[in-house]
Amino acid sequence: MNVKKSIESRRSIRQYQDKQVPDDLVNEVINAARLAPSGNNAQPSRYFVVKDAKTKKKLQNNNIIRDKWAYDAPVIIVCCADPKSYTKFVEEWDDPNEIRAIRDLAIASSYMVLQATELGLGTCYCGWLKKDKIKKILDIPPHFIVPYVITLGYPAETPKPRPRKGIEEILL
Ligand SMILES: Cc1cc2nc3c(=O)[nH]c(=O)nc-3n(C[C@H](O)[C@H](O)[C@H](O)COP(=O)(O)O)c2cc1C
């Protein structure tokens, strides 16, 4: 599969097979994110990989993710941005560190979901989550930003492409 095919075939997957994802594939997905670019090469993205049933249950019991199907995914990748990775701030040219960190995380996450697609794995971003509570439960530093988690596993559905705006609608 090439990048174009991966971009075209990726879908948000909300049903997963009851099959574990081998660690080397999870690592490959995280590695794709690691290789993504970031401003100043600051690399502010961090990942908490939830695979064990006990931690998943803890998230579920605390109603952390709005969508209940997410707990059935074999892997939940908690995507974090550390604004403190940015030290320099150039007035007039830079966005606040929080924005820069989230921006870089979003870029890295794209690499991640496309790599997963190439490996035959499904993903879905879940932005509806209790962001402060998840940090407490997983002992993630309080200043980290957790905009979403990404579920990962072997798909048990093959959704059709969801609608997109036409090129003429997005060109200014
Ligand atoms: C940042 C972000 C947050 C999202 N949050 C959720 C979510 O909480 N629950 C959900 O079911 N889908 C969520 N989605 C998936 C979108 O609904 C989905 O990407 C969109 O409908 C297009 O469908 P596709 O990904 O299959 O192309 C999210 C997507 C992104 C990029």
Mean pLDDT of 127-154: 98
What pLDDT, in 10s, does the model give residues 8-59?
999 999 999 999 999 999 999 999 999 999 999 999 999 999 999 999 999 9
CA distances from 39 to 23, 82, 97, 101 (A): 29, 13, 10, 9
**Pocket flag, ligand 1, residue 13 (CB < 6 Å):** no
Please report which confidence band the pLDDT of residue 97 belongs to, taking 50, 70 and 90 as the band edges.
very high
- Closest ligand 1 atom to 128 CA: 8
**Pocket flag, ligand 1, residue 8 (CB < 6 Å):** no
**Pocket flag, ligand 1, residue 165 (CB < 6 Å):** no
Residue closest via CA to ligand 1's atom 28 equals: 125
Please check the confidence at residue 166 and state whether its pLDDT lies above 90: yes
CATH homologous superfamily for 3-157? Answer: NADH Oxidase (3.40.109.10)
Helix (H) or strand (E) holding 75: strand 75-81
Residue closest via CA to ligand 1's atom 12 equals: 126
For the full predicted model, state whether its pTM sits above 0.95.
yes
